[in-house]
Chains A and B, each alone.
Chain A
Amino acid sequence: MHPIFTSIAIAGPETVLTLGSLAALMLGTFSGKGPKDSRALTVTSLFAVAILALAGFTLLDAPAGITRAFDGLYVADDFSAFLKVVILAASAASVLLALPWLQESGSGRFEYPVLLLLATLGMTMMVSANDLLTLYVGLELAALPSYVLAAFHRQDDRSAEAGLKYFVLGALASGILLYGVTLIYGFSGSTQLDVIAGVVSGQTERSIGLLFGIVFILAGLAFKVSAVPFHMWTPDVYEGAPTPVAAFFSAAPKAAALGLLARVMIVAFPGNIAGDWQQILIFIAIASMVLGAVAAVAQTNIKRLLAYSSIANIGFALVGLTPGTPAGISALLFYVTVYVAMTLGSFLVVLQLRRPDGSPVESMADFAGLSKTQPKLAAALAIFMFSLAGIPPLLGFWPKFAVFQAAIASGLIALALIGFVASVIAAFYYLRLIKIMYFDEPAPAPFGPLATEGSAVNGAMIAACALFCSPIGMLAISPLVAATARAAAALFPA
């Protein structure tokens, strides 16, 4: 068989997603009476979920070990497989959770699931990238549909502004990243990660050019994961973008970008130079944890709050990357998995709620007395908040535990101390939402009925996320950590 066919077979999920997104585009065009026909949206959404599931199934019979394809541009290993499962699941959830909202808002165009499929394709490429060019292509493929999604509610000024802001800053970040890639290529002679690693570890003296390249790459990727000091776009985009899109942004792209960051740093820059990028990462992690915690205290908008929460959480996840050890990477993957469930769950609850006049809930004051009017949703949101705050025995405590355990095992005790103190500050604003829901009396006008269509599916997803984040989810620790440890080991050649 021609090598190109072997390669395509190895890149199973990507192949399915590519063909599937094209098919979804056709399906959407021909299944409805016009671009605003909600039937087209429903059919395309369900088809997209099926495609995502199918892509997941192709991972099942992937060969064990590390398989390279497309002349080393692409790699399939346990690491990429694990992250792809997380990304595909988060994307599928993002498609489903948006359905009732889109149908209601009147901008129910079938392009939404198609764009999401394309973005997901980019993300799967990101975590499988074994070359700085594949990395860039994957990143852009994920980013371009995201810009459109942010502005999806195009009649709304805020949504359009969010899209534009995201696009301008994202393009800038991509430029910085690309400049870093050229520097790396110039000083190492290759764009392939393992070849760079060979050159880097052969060097006896520190190469300033390489270091600059690393800094630029880190800056570009920090923008993608919304780490401080490249986080400024996050609250504005979360606030302006339609809520389901914000939910999507907070989950799958974060997992993909963190995975990408981990692979580039661990595979391409091991050994002596690792100390240099660790310094930068420690700063980014601390800054993200502290700023995410402190800045969120003053927020009154739930979406902005969740945006700052995601910044802080990225900081905690990056703590797992700083030691550069298998235990740390394993903790990072564990963190990402649990974080995705917590944040998607929180957004799902927000999406379920409507003001009496039917407009979506955005202000935190709207949650007053929710425990009386909607006890189940309030309980679920309380679980997510306590979990995000990292209070045991909720599952959200254990990812923090894991990353700091890895940090302390590598002697980064000060980092762990600062991180835990930041988590106490962060606990304040998570508690505030619980206080509003449980301690305050309901506002005079109680919440109207829940979103009707599709809310059964969303309700089930909330229940699943809440169960996972509750103490019962601790039973998932053992299998999950076994999987993340296996995935992490793939980055460290024996």
Chain B
Amino acid sequence: MILSFMILLPVVAALVVATLPGGDEERAGRARVVALATTLVEFALGIWLWTQFDQSTAAFQFTENLPLFAPFLNWSLGIDGIALMLIELSVFLMPLCILASWVAVKKRVPEYMAAFLLMESLMIGTFAARDIFLFYLFFEGGLIPMFLIIGIWGGARRIYASYKFFLYTLLGSVLMLVAMLWMVNFAGTADIGELSKVDFPKEAQFWLFLAFFASFAVKMPMWPVHTWLPDAHVEAPTAGSVILAGVLLKLGGYGFIRFSLPMFPDASAQLIWLVFGLSMVAVVYTSLVALVQQDMKKLIAYSSVAHMAFVTGGLFALNTQGIEGAMVMMLSHGLVSGALFLCVGVIYDRLHTREIGRYGGLADTMPKYALVLLFFTMASVGLPATSGFVAEFLVLLGMYQTSTWATFVLTTGIILGAAYMLWLYARVAYGKAAGDDTRAMPDLDAREIAILVPIIIATLWMGIYPKSFQTPMKPAIAEVVARLEGRALATVPTDMSLSPAMPALAAPAAAQESHH
């Protein structure tokens, strides 16, 4: 019942928050306290869940099954290691989001807190659902609070951004729903565990894969359907961006690993050229776009798209290292890009602009802030000892076995990533302050430190001892890999020496491979 409790508690809290008595100020104060308390309880429950989790099995744990909404769907819950880690990420980021909005959000505070609590419930539900339609319910349901969060509390172009976010993701999802209905009709079960064992006809797999791909690629987001993300990020309030980058983007990757890979293994193997191709374009293109951004949030948003391309690349390496790397990348990106958005929020709250040119010299005036920003810049670039390094290393290791070409292109993303992140840091933290108001900004206060330090600890932990995070996921990933084993791969250039066009590069690459 623990999962049900974790899903329902925020809903109840949201109802309480929305119907609090009192005047505006009183209500706002109480709403903040209730929301923070609820998310902290959720976090504690999440930790307890982790301690109780049996790390040796791939089977779903903490299962519940109630035919509450028969015949359409069952209240069927359960988690494996992959879902567990993503739930941990959600419950970890949530209290930080509430804290980050403590003073920044001033209008309609109770509604804001209620929307975030609903968001938390829906996210946990998405990861815990074991009925395919229950998954869809939570997956889609998240659109409503996010739409309201962007539209009510967002910036100047919030309405455009909220529509774009909503309709883009909805269009992707309805195609997936048609595929789900077909699958359940074909297999006679809506249980995700059982559907993962069904061998769908290869012809059908192709279409089913594409239908799911339409939804997950938008959520991910992959190039060229990523354009909603920068708009949504820029216009969302800070905490909205954190949740968007930290958890909502993970739904796409989670969908691939939960549905696309185990349910359509043949199509996945046949279509890796598609995923690799889009990932390669995404890494190079969005990294270059990130380089020229003037808006900090937009820059980080584009870097998210590049990082997510690593996730898709790792997943479709179709081997243990690649998938594990993709999972670590998702967790790492959730922490690091969430923290980067929080960092932008810190200075945005002071100067009310995200324009990079308006800052400068923060290393002198805000030394603590500069240090924190430097840390997360390095984590985003993938410096060893941070989580980003583990993730990128594993992804590239896995991909190398499937396609050296794709690996080569993705590796350039690391260099480009270092370029745009370091340049961002240089412009913000070094040099001279752009104006007196920039110079007058106070350094981090206790609340902001309390938000950022836990993320620093988690990032270092994941970077230095990733085993704690990998062990729970291993059996579940092994199961996915077992499903993929022996599927006919599409003919992708797996070796650079196959390409006569680049003889100079081929030699060292081939040598490296033989060495490997």
Residues of chain A having any CB pair with chain B under 8 Å: 386, 391-393, 397-398, 401-402, 404-405, 408-409, 413, 416-417, 420-421, 423-424, 427-428, 431, 434-435, 438-439, 474-475, 477-478, 481
* Smallest CB separation, B218 vs chain A (Å): 12
A477 to B140, CA, bound (A): 19
> Which residues of B have CB within 8 Å of A438?
148, 151-152
Query: Is the Cβ of B72 less than 8 Å from the Cβ of A402?
Result: yes
Is B163 in contact with chain A by the CB < 8 A criterion?
yes
> Which residues of B have CB within 8 Å of A427?
166-167, 170
Of B133, B148, B177, the residue contacting A420 (CB under 8 A) is B177
Query: Is the Cβ of B71 less than 8 Å from the Cβ of A413?
Result: no
A416 to B174, CA, bound (A): 10
A423 to B178, CA, bound (A): 13
Query: Is the Cβ of A428 less than 8 Å from the Cβ of B167?
Result: yes
Query: Is the Cβ of A439 less than 8 Å from the Cβ of B167?
Result: no
> Which residues of A have CB within 8 Å of B151?
435, 438-439
Query: Is the Cβ of B170 less than 8 Å from the Cβ of A392?
Result: no
A391 to B146, CA, bound (A): 13
> Which residues of B have CB within 8 Å of A386?
144
> Which residues of B have CB within 8 Å of A435?
151, 159, 162-163
* Smallest CB separation, B181 vs chain A (Å): 5
CB within 8 Å for A424 and B170 given contacts A391-B143, A475-B68: yes
Of B72, B133, B140, B182, the residue contacting A391 (CB under 8 A) is B140
Within 8 A of A (CB), among B10-69: 67-69
Query: Is the Cβ of B136 less than 8 Å from the Cβ of A392?
Result: yes
Query: Is the Cβ of B147 less than 8 Å from the Cβ of A408?
Result: no
> Which residues of B have CB within 8 Å of A434?
147
CB within 8 Å for A420 and B178 given contacts A392-B136, A402-B72, A481-B71: yes
Query: Is the Cβ of B178 less than 8 Å from the Cβ of A408?
Result: yes
> Which residues of A have CB within 8 Å of B174?
420-421, 423-424
* Smallest CB separation, B48 vs chain A (Å): 26
The proximity string for B residues 364-380 relative to A, scoring 1 for CB distances below 8 Å and 0 otherwise, is 00000000000000000
Enumerate the 10 nearest inter-chain pairs by beta-carbon distance, A residue then B residue, closest first.
Answer: A420-B174, A392-B137, A408-B181, A439-B151, A477-B69, A424-B171, A393-B137, A393-B141, A392-B140, A409-B185
Q: Helix, strand, loop or mixed for chain A's interface?
A: helix
Within 8 A of A (CB), among B378-426: none
Residues of chain B having any CB pair with chain A under 8 Å: 67-72, 133, 136-138, 140-141, 143-144, 147-148, 151-152, 158-159, 162-163, 166-167, 170-171, 174-175, 177-178, 181-182, 185
Q: Helix, strand, loop or mixed for chain B's interface?
A: helix
A306 to B340, CA, bound (A): 44
* Smallest CB separation, A468 vs chain B (Å): 14
11 contacts between A and B (CB under 8 A): A404-B178, A404-B181, A405-B181, A420-B174, A424-B171, A427-B167, A428-B163, A428-B167, A431-B147, A434-B147, A475-B68
A435 to B143, CA, bound (A): 14
A404 to B175, CA, bound (A): 12
* Smallest CB separation, B94 vs chain A (Å): 20
A413 to B183, CA, bound (A): 12
A475 to B75, CA, bound (A): 11
A402 to B133, CA, bound (A): 12
Query: Is the Cβ of B152 less than 8 Å from the Cβ of A431?
Result: no
A273 to B177, CA, bound (A): 31
A110 to B185, CA, bound (A): 53
> Which residues of A have CB within 8 Å of B137?
392-393, 397
A391 to B177, CA, bound (A): 12
Of A398, A402, A413, A421, the residue contacting B182 (CB under 8 A) is A413
A417 to B171, CA, bound (A): 11
A401 to B167, CA, bound (A): 18
A440's closest neighbor in chain B, by CB? Answer: B159
B139's closest neighbor in chain A, by CB? Answer: A392
A490 to B166, CA, bound (A): 41
A372's closest neighbor in chain B, by CB? Answer: B108
Query: Is the Cβ of A416 less than 8 Å from the Cβ of B141?
Result: no
> Which residues of B have CB within 8 Å of A401?
72, 133, 177, 181
Query: Is the Cβ of B68 less than 8 Å from the Cβ of A478?
Result: yes
5 further contact pairs, Cβ within 8 A, besides A421-B174, A431-B163, A435-B159:
A397-B140, A401-B72, A405-B72, A413-B178, A478-B71
> Which residues of B have CB within 8 Å of A408?
178, 181-182, 185
A442 to B331, CA, bound (A): 42
Of A398, A413, A421, the residue contacting B171 (CB under 8 A) is A421
A417 to B211, CA, bound (A): 11
Query: Is the Cβ of B69 less than 8 Å from the Cβ of A391?
Result: no
* Smallest CB separation, B440 vs chain A (Å): 32
Query: Is the Cβ of A439 less than 8 Å from the Cβ of B159?
Result: yes
A330's closest neighbor in chain B, by CB? Answer: B71
* Smallest CB separation, B73 vs chain A (Å): 9
> Which residues of A have CB within 8 Å of B159?
435, 439
Query: Is the Cβ of A417 less than 8 Å from the Cβ of B175?
Result: yes
Query: Is the Cβ of B181 less than 8 Å from the Cβ of A431?
Result: no
> Which residues of B have CB within 8 Å of A398?
72
> Which residues of A have CB within 8 Å of B167?
424, 427-428, 431
* Smallest CB separation, B122 vs chain A (Å): 8
* Smallest CB separation, B109 vs chain A (Å): 14
Most buried by A among B141, B162, B181: B181
A267 to B67, CA, bound (A): 33
B163's closest neighbor in chain A, by CB? Answer: A431
A269 to B177, CA, bound (A): 32
> Which residues of B have CB within 8 Å of A481?
70-72
